[in-house]
Amino acid sequence: MSLQTTTHLNFRGEARAALEFYRSAFGGELLAITYADANDVQDPAEATHLMWGQVTARNGFRVMAYDVPATRPWDRGQAPFFVSVRADDAEELEQYWGRLAEGATVTVDLAPAQWAPLYGMLTDRFGVTWVLDVAAPYAG
């Protein structure tokens, strides 16, 4: 099984600008999916905000980011990141989820999602927010 952890940064309306900045600093390619791209617009003012974005460079640099929707609490500098765990094996990912979920607050149950065979989000008993998913190619 292949497993990756990636810092996942949280913004409100600035995710694309931040990822472009990090790409200019570290190189690499930017992949960005807006809420409109994913057909998940809850607020028309946020249609062009990023539901998910990532900069990946050949030198090993990788960072993810998204724009927290207005329906969720967000304060700049508070909960500025998630730790993203992406695997290619659902069974093994479920085991990690089960261990991390002990004493955690589950935000999104581990279940199939529009963009991944499995996706879930929780905040562990130490206050760290984790996003776990099974890797799937983006079909645009």
- Three-state helix/strand/coil letters over the chain: CCEEEEEEEEECCCHHHHHHHHHHHHCCEEEEEECCCCCCCCCHHHCCCEEEEEEECCCCCEEEEEECCCCCCCECCECCEEEEEEECCHHHHHHHHHHHCCCCEEEEEEEEECCEEEEEEEECCCCCEEEEEECCCCCC
What is the pLDDT, as a whole number, of residue 1?
A: 62
Is the pLDDT at 13 greater than 80? The verdict is yes
CATH number of the domain that 29 lies in? Answer: 3.10.180.10
Number of domains in the chain: 1
Which of the four pLDDT bands, split at 50, 70 and 90, describes residue 140?
low
- The average pLDDT across 107-126 equals 91
Beta bridge partners of 7: 63, 83
Domain-embedded: residue 139: no
What confidence tens digit (pLDDT) does each residue in 57-98 have?
A: 998 889 999 999 999 888 887 778 888 888 888 998 899 899
Report how far apart, in Å, the C-alpha atoms of 112 and of each of 54, 62, 117, 131 are. 21, 24, 5, 13
Q: Do residues 109 and 102 touch, judged by C-beta distance below 8 A?
A: no
| CA separation for the pair 120, 132 (Å, rounded) | 5
- The average pLDDT across 21-45 equals 93
18 phi and psi angles, rounded to 5 deg: -65, -45
Domain-embedded: residue 14: yes
Domain-embedded: residue 140: no
Instruction: Give the domain range for residue 96.
Output: 3-134
Q: Do residues 29 and 20 touch, judged by C-beta distance below 8 A?
A: no
Domain-embedded: residue 10: yes
What is the pLDDT, as a whole number, of residue 43?
A: 95
Which of the four pLDDT bands, split at 50, 70 and 90, describes residue 125?
confident
Domain-embedded: residue 57: yes
